[in-house]
Amino acid sequence: MRMPLILAGAALAVAAPLLAQQMPIPGTADVSRVAAGTYKTDPAHTLIGWRVNHLGFNDYFGIFGDADGTLVLDPKKPAAAKLDVTIPVSKLTTASAGLTKHMMSKDFFNAEVTPTARFTSTAVKVSGTRATITGNLTLNGVTKPVVLNAHFTGAGANPMSKKPTIGFEADAKIKRSDFNIAYGIPAVSDEVELDISAAFEQA
């Protein structure tokens, strides 16, 4: 009985990579595949990363997941797009439990008092597949203007949900002192680099 099971397992091990190679990639960077409408974030595949320098030695970083929000988009009028996303600061992830605990404290994100952050767009300028998205970021109870440099990365039907899906990546730089997060400056850098990867499914 063991030999047939072993042979079956070996066959699956060989077949799996072949099947994966044959599976088409559902999303491509083709703007003609973008459908107009209201999109909701795919929280499992949307990440907001941050990076700061630590004591002049090296950078350390963390990510937020489970972002919840909407994108209203018409490919014929891309500059009229509206983005509104809430980020659960209380769901911060880093590689160290101790670091995560400190980052959640009042020294930094003060997550017990302000468990979420929010970005709401106010203007969008489009150039090809790239866009400059100006908006208001509310973090730690403070609202300041922030500019995201975004680019379109893919569109198509998600094979799991069957819904039209679009993807974007973006980056930005902010000063945490603008949001009353000043602990450790300048030993821990004031400038924070943001790295965003977002997927949106049509509602």
Task: Identify the pLDDT of residue 79.
Answer: 95
Give CA–CA dist 72/82, Å, rounded. 5
Task: Identify the pLDDT of residue 121.
Answer: 98
Q: Name the one residue in this structure whose structure tokens are 């907001």.
A: 48
Q: Give the length of the chain.
A: 203
**β strands within 20-81, DSSP E:** 37-41, 47-54, 58-64, 68-73
pLDDT band for position 24 (50/70/90)? Answer: confident
What is the DSSP annotation of 43-55? GGG-EEEEEEEET
The dihedrals phi and psi of 99, each to the nearest 5 degrees, come to: -65, -45
- What is the arithmetic mean of pLDDT over 10-31? 68
Classify burial at 40, counting beta carbons within 10 Å of its beta carbon; exposed 0-12, middle 13-18, buried 19 or more: middle
pLDDT band for position 16 (50/70/90)? Answer: low
Task: Identify the pLDDT of residue 1.
Answer: 46
Using a pLDDT cut of 90, give the percent of the chain over it: 86
For the cut 50, the answer to whether the pLDDT of residue 44 exceeds it is: yes
Cβ contact 134:123 at 8 Å: yes
CB burial readout 160-181, b (16+ within 10 A) else e: eeeebbbbbebebebebebbeb
For the cut 70, the answer to whether the pLDDT of residue 11 exceeds it is: no
